[in-house]
Amino acid sequence: MTADYPWFSAALSAYRHCQTWFVAYSGGLDSSVLLKLLVDLRAIDDSIPALQVIHVNHGLSANAHQWQKHCIETCEEYDVPLSVFQVDIEADLRLGVEAAARKVRYGVFERQLAKTDVLLMAHHLDDQLETFFLRLFRGAGIDGLTSIPQQRSLGQGQLVRPLLGQSRASLEKLAEYLTVSWVDDESNTDTRFDRNFLRHELMPVIEKRWPAYRQTMSRTLDHLQSSRGLLSAVANEKLACCESVVSGQPVLLFSELVAAGNEQASLTLRSWLKKYRFDAPRSEQIKEFLQQLQHSDTDAQPCLSGHGYELRRYDGGVYLLLPETEFDESLVLPLDVTSPGTSSSFSVLGVGQLSFKAKLGKGIKSNWNKPLSISFRRGGERCQPVGRAHSQSLKKLFQEYKVEPWWRDRVPLIYTGGDLMAVGDYWVCEGTWVSADEEGFGLAWQRPGIDIHD
């Protein structure tokens, strides 16, 4: 019974307030032991959160259906609800089979979690040490070498690994004691896969020479975690000094970023990306980007493209952006905000969310004889912003007001017939602003980008 294993209850004590404990269940030994411990804990403590089991069928093995059947039968025996997800990893095979399966699997997990939920996974100490060696041989830095965290955020919820301090041998003994049945994945013996090579070829040699290597390496990982925590504190302190928000996008002040040298700048960039849940690029990519930032001309725009994001420099700032999406610059969109009190809101691919609301005595005139529309730059447009003596080309205005270059062709232009009335949320053109007793409308433009409130 779980009462014999107080370490297990202690590992979960901080998560008893959660709404649901989701359990990642493959049917293998590790997750089978985890599930049985949870079921036994529920039997002696009815105050724990609800259990919900998730099985992801990747369809990679001829036996995948049998594993799924075993999981269904086990959950029926334990009287716990099970959700089965059959997934296709073909689109991500460029990452390699293991990485593609992991990406799809974690995507499934992430979509299930609410803010009050946790996902429990059965990674153990041997998994931890294998991950350390895999990353060591790939040249990882301190973030990578700290290996598998005990807990981290996942989607809206949390991922927790209550078995991380237990060796595989101890889980095998637990499985025998708890009379747990499980299925074996035949691919786990295929040493063409790096992790299997470590597990079956290298680790036994290490254990023969250094029988206590698990304990000593665990201490090393603890030291790395401590060092990483100190470095993160330094980086977060730096972030607090040099991060701001421009046009709804996170920005680092370039001069502050590089003031303490490249090592500090690299650490700050990594922490910044981690804050927004992005993987940092390789060290040499960051080094090259920092060199470009420091040595390129002031009007140059160095760019570093990562997985799902871009870092770009403009006007003394380093912006964190989503990669640009396709955009149809020939679009002409009708706009109807002419009725008193009306509002309109819609999305434009590559531009973002545009919202218009009618207001008395504020904004742009709406009582025009010609229809209103939205279109985008084609060249030669001019605007005389309210309060200025002369009109200027949009090109000159964008340069003067330092509008970020990647938005300039995507700024929504509001027209009545062929007359330009307003330029995005930047300027209203002279002659189109309402008087105090007129009905007008205003534009709110939410650009697509990083969620700074996430």
Indicate whether 169 belongs to any domain: yes
Residues 69, 112 within the same domain: yes
> What pLDDT score does 3 carry?
54
From the number of C-beta atoms within 10 Å of its C-beta (0-12, 13-18, 19+), residue 436 rates as: exposed
Torsion, Cα 291 295 300 301, to 10 degrees, reads 20
From the number of C-beta atoms within 10 Å of its C-beta (0-12, 13-18, 19+), residue 351 rates as: buried
Radius of gyration of the chain (CA): 28
Give the DSSP letter string of 18-47: SSEEEEE--SSHHHHHHHHHHHHHHHH-TT
What CATH number did the domain enclosing 37 receive? Answer: 3.40.50.620
What CATH number did the domain enclosing 311 receive? Answer: 1.20.59.20
Residues 338, 311 within the same domain: no
- Looking at 262, 292, 321, the residue that finishes a domain is 321
Residues 36, 180 within the same domain: yes
Residues 315, 258 within the same domain: yes
How many domains is the chain partitioned into structurally?
3
The two beta strands, 151-154 and 117-120, are unpaired
Kindly list the distances between the CA atom of residue 269 and the CA atoms of 172, 224, 249, in Å, as whole numbers in the listed order.
42, 20, 15
CB atoms within 10 A of CB 310: 15
Indicate whether 198 belongs to any domain: no
> What pLDDT score does 2 carry?
53
Long-range contacts (CB closer than 8 Å, 24 or more residues apart) made by 138-142 = 139/283, 141/283, 142/224, 142/227, 142/228, 142/231
> What pLDDT score does 450 carry?
82
- Looking at 160, 187, 214, the residue that finishes a domain is 187
Phi, psi of 185 (to 5 degrees): -85, 115
- Looking at 321, 346, 363, the residue that finishes a domain is 321
Indicate whether 391 belongs to any domain: yes
Indicate whether 194 belongs to any domain: no
Indicate whether 425 belongs to any domain: yes
Please give the Cα distance from 133 to 2 (Å, whole number): 32
Residues 35, 120 within the same domain: yes
Residues 14, 153 within the same domain: yes
Residues 107, 253 within the same domain: no
Indicate whether 223 belongs to any domain: no
Residues 176, 290 within the same domain: no
Indicate whether 208 belongs to any domain: no
Please give the Cα distance from 107 to 182 (Å, whole number): 25
> What pLDDT score does 141 carry?
80
> What pLDDT score does 343 carry?
62
Please give the Cα distance from 363 to 360 (Å, whole number): 8
Residues 107, 158 within the same domain: yes
Residues 426, 367 within the same domain: yes
Instruction: Express the helix, strand and coil content of the chain in percent, nearest 5 each.
Output: 40, 25, 35
- For residue 272, give the DSSP letter: H
Mean pLDDT per 10-residue interval, the chain, length 454 residues: 75 93 96 96 91 93 92 96 89 66 90 95 94 88 82 92 94 94 86 88 94 91 84 76 83 84 86 86 88 82 88 90 88 74 76 84 76 89 90 92 92 89 90 80 86 64
- pTM for this prediction: 0.68
Residues 23, 121 within the same domain: yes
Indicate whether 411 belongs to any domain: yes
Range of the domain at 353: 333-446
Residues 438, 350 within the same domain: yes
